[in-house]
Amino acid sequence: MKICILSRNENLYSTKRLMDEARKHGHETTVLDYMDCNILIEGGNPVLIVNGKNIALPDAIIPRIGASKTYYGCAVVRQFEMMKVFTSVKSQAIVRSRDKLRSMQILSRHGLGLPKTAFSAHPEQIKSIMKQVGGPPIVIKLLEGTQGKGVVLAESLNAAKSALDAFFGLKANIIIQEYIKESNGRDIRVFVINGKVAAAMVRQGVHGEFRSNLHQGGIAQKVRLTKLERETAINAAKTLGLSIAGVDLLQSSRGPLVMEVNSSPGLEGIEKTTGKNVAVQIIRYIEENAFKKSKDKVGA
């Protein structure tokens, strides 16, 4: 099978691990920088061009689309989909998950537990908004932020006003969320593949830091999920249409709450913490489903 990993850097841990495991399983594997792809659109004949040549179609792609390049990256994934190439994560699911507000609205509609969240274009109403989400303190998040960047804990009304003035002054879109005190800078990352939990770890922020992201200096260890935590993570991924996802949960007094669902979760932290070979599970998922799709095409 020919597998193409869409990644901007073949030396990234996740890209290298996927490439290594795919090759161990006998697959011809390449890495393609999706930003190098040119998209040609005409009736009934979608084409991708790299360096002036039509790309040789693989049997499957693994999108590793960076948050800052979501629009263009998803356009490339969509073009592969139009050319009947199997993708481990669908373009529409990536778009859906990258929009934090939209994804939370979808999760809410399906009854999943979430921190109370507000979205407003009126910073002068912050006092009322804070009350609605149970603060202060409150959490203010940039909708475009990743890896804990663009996240602020405002512990008072004045702090919230200052943060919102700064964000709105930059014309940034933000959401305001309930602060889950009992989580105490701790969350759970659940790696879901094809409706099953592949691995899970608990992340704890450093002392005095409410963000638990490993990129922000947090530490991690293996965790045994409760039945409800497992079901919540699987349902969150399924609801957003993600066959591969990193689901971040907060432990609260009212049960697990979905903080975020990541469509391109990193492998380094979860593999090194849990000792699980997550990359090979992704390759096996592709083998089973890309092969099934090719058989269906032949049968048609």
Q: Specify the fold of 2-87.
A: Rossmann fold (3.40.50)
Whether the per-residue pLDDT at 213 is higher than 70: the answer is no
The dihedral sign for the CA sequence 101, 103, 109, 115: negative
Domain with CATH 3.30.1490.20 in the chain: 117-179
Domain with CATH 3.40.50.20 in the chain: 2-87
Q: What is the model's pLDDT at position 185?
A: 79
**Predicted confidence (pLDDT) per residue in 18-66, tens digit:** 999 999 999 999 999 999 999 999 888 899 999 999 999 999 999 999 9
Whether the per-residue pLDDT at 212 is higher than 60: the answer is no
CA distance 259 to 177: 10
163 with 176: CB under 8 angstroms?
no
Contacts of 130 (CB under 8 A, 6+ apart): 136, 138, 157, 160, 176
In Å, what is the CA distance from 14 to each residue of 125, 187, 286? 43, 22, 16
pTM of the model: 0.88
Enter the DSSP assignment of 263. Answer: S
Domain with CATH 3.30.470.20 in the chain: 182-279
Choose the weakest-confidence range: 67-81, 141-155, 185-199, 234-248: 141-155
Whether the per-residue pLDDT at 298 is higher than 80: the answer is no
Whether the per-residue pLDDT at 207 is higher than 70: the answer is no
Mean pLDDT of 247-271: 95
Domain 117-179 has CATH 3.20.20.80: no
Whether the per-residue pLDDT at 274 is higher than 90: the answer is yes
The rounded percent of the chain whose pLDDT value lies above 70 is 91
Choose the weakest-confidence range: 122-136, 177-191, 227-241, 285-299: 285-299
**Predicted confidence (pLDDT) per residue in 101-116, tens digit:** 999 999 999 999 999 9
Whether the per-residue pLDDT at 150 is higher than 80: the answer is no
141 with 175: CB under 8 angstroms?
yes
250 with 259: CB under 8 angstroms?
yes
Q: What is the model's pLDDT at position 300?
A: 41
Contacts of 90 (CB under 8 A, 6+ apart): 77, 81, 241, 243
Whether the per-residue pLDDT at 251 is higher than 60: the answer is yes
- CATH of the domain spanning 182-279: 3.30.470.20
Whether the per-residue pLDDT at 121 is higher than 90: the answer is no
